[in-house]
A and B are shown apart, each in its own frame.
Chain A
């Protein structure tokens, strides 16, 4: 794993981010960042290193799931109670696909294909794909939950658009990162 030493602004390296939207944002921040020398600092270059990205993306998935669960309970209960009930159920529900995938589906795929997969990456793709399917379902509802579903699909579309921009900017991004000793092969 690549390490950048003594340079605090390297926290904005795009390679320290997973999603295109965050990579693009990080690129903009790093391009405009002033040098912040900090002796004794060691920053790892890994796609899952950004705390802001992790908290934002995970809370977004959690809140979206909670909203779906709350919308189901809202047919039976007053909305505030439905939301209160939905919080723990939603947080459990968002984990279920990972457990199902990890316990049953991925081991079966690995056994059939006789290959080892990067399981967390597969789970990541599966989780997002599943959320897209669920959002497509709720987007057709007539209640408030359709707005939640549409915002989810909009963010996914925005991230896809950001991915195109990141691809087009791959040259400038690589040049900027190389100033920190990061090459495309050393990141991740």
Chain B
């Protein structure tokens, strides 16, 4: 069974192959090669079905064939994004950047004290964190779901240790109780905590939300942390514009007020977050790398 795990879609083989390819393949010949491998990964039934389900909610009324080709576009963008990420880590090949919401970005950079960046599984959040780390003296703590496969997790951790400095620290969302305290201390020490707010992992506290008219949930952690530490949440998205070209989009900060009615404060903050998220996903649906259905009715 171990060879199946190794060569499975989440297996370490593909990460090692990607690393090898980014070093060996001349960058100018990437497009057809990435296009080919993206098509091959469409054989991943669960991922393909998850993306198709999500696309049906984002773009209702589309035919099966149109949704299928859109799914291929999502896979293609994912391939480009992870390739850009590894190329940056291994070869320091940096993409072009375009900033949108510069005033909010400057506000985040100059904000005294800690802050929370709430982002989504879009574009390359690793590249975005690196870019941000290079433009500020403050440390970023990225919270993410760990890789399911232990070999893949080790591979990713080793790659991060070897190629990324201390400016970006990665922590995992599974150890929720200790992590909450660590993050609170980090924010209170003036660090920036980046959390992905579009996916709830099993065992993680969540808040109800509505996205594209579907009932879903978002992680409660960032909102609770913002309330406890009295820091703003900056919705930030990394959007791939084309080959080696990304946009960093920063939206207006979300304040989670401490009031008597905590639930209402959370509701307002979640609504503001999902509004930003929905707007960005609607415009860049081909870059939402959510491979599982985001709403309950199809997940059941």
Contacts and interface: CB of A to CB of B under 8 A. Distances in A.
Q: Do A and B bind each other?
A: yes
Interface in A92-121: 92, 94-95, 98-99, 101-102, 106, 119-121
A82 B27 CA distance: 29
Interface string A119-155: 1110110010000000000000000000000000000
Interface residues of B, number: 28
Nearest to A95: B33
Contacts of A1: 92, 94
A46 to B, nearest CB: 6
B30 A119 contact: no
Contacts of B99: 39-42
Contacts of B36: 88, 91-92, 95
A46 B93 contact: yes
B41 interface: no
Nearest to B93: A46
A61 interface: yes
A41 B24 CA distance: 30
Interface stretch (B4-12, B65-73, B240-248): B240-248
Contact of B24 (A49, A58, A120): A120
Nearest to B98: A41
Contacts, number: 99
Contacts of B95: 44
Contact of B25 (A88, A92, A120): A120
Interface string B97-111: 111101000000000
Interface string B78-94: 00000000000000111
A55 to B, nearest CB: 5
B26 interface: yes
A119 B28 CA distance: 14
Nearest to A92: B36
A40 B26 contact: no
B245 A51 contact: yes
A49 B26 contact: no
A74 interface: no
B20 interface: yes
Interface in A41-61: 41-44, 46, 48-49, 51, 53-55, 57-59, 61
A98 to B, nearest CB: 6
Given A49-B96, A49-B244, A123-B25, A54 B20 contact: no
B25 A98 contact: yes
Contacts of B26: 48, 98, 120-121, 123-124, 127
Contacts of A51: 242-245
A19 to B, nearest CB: 8
B150 interface: no
Contacts of B208: none
Contacts of B31: 54-55, 58-59
Interface string B226-256: 0000000000000000111100000000000
Interface of B: 20, 23-33, 35-36, 92-100, 102, 242-245
What are the nearest 7 A-B pairs in CB distance? A40-B99, A102-B24, A124-B26, A51-B243, A48-B27, A42-B97, A62-B32
8 contacts: A46-B93, A48-B26, A55-B31, A57-B28, A91-B36, A99-B24, A119-B23, A120-B27
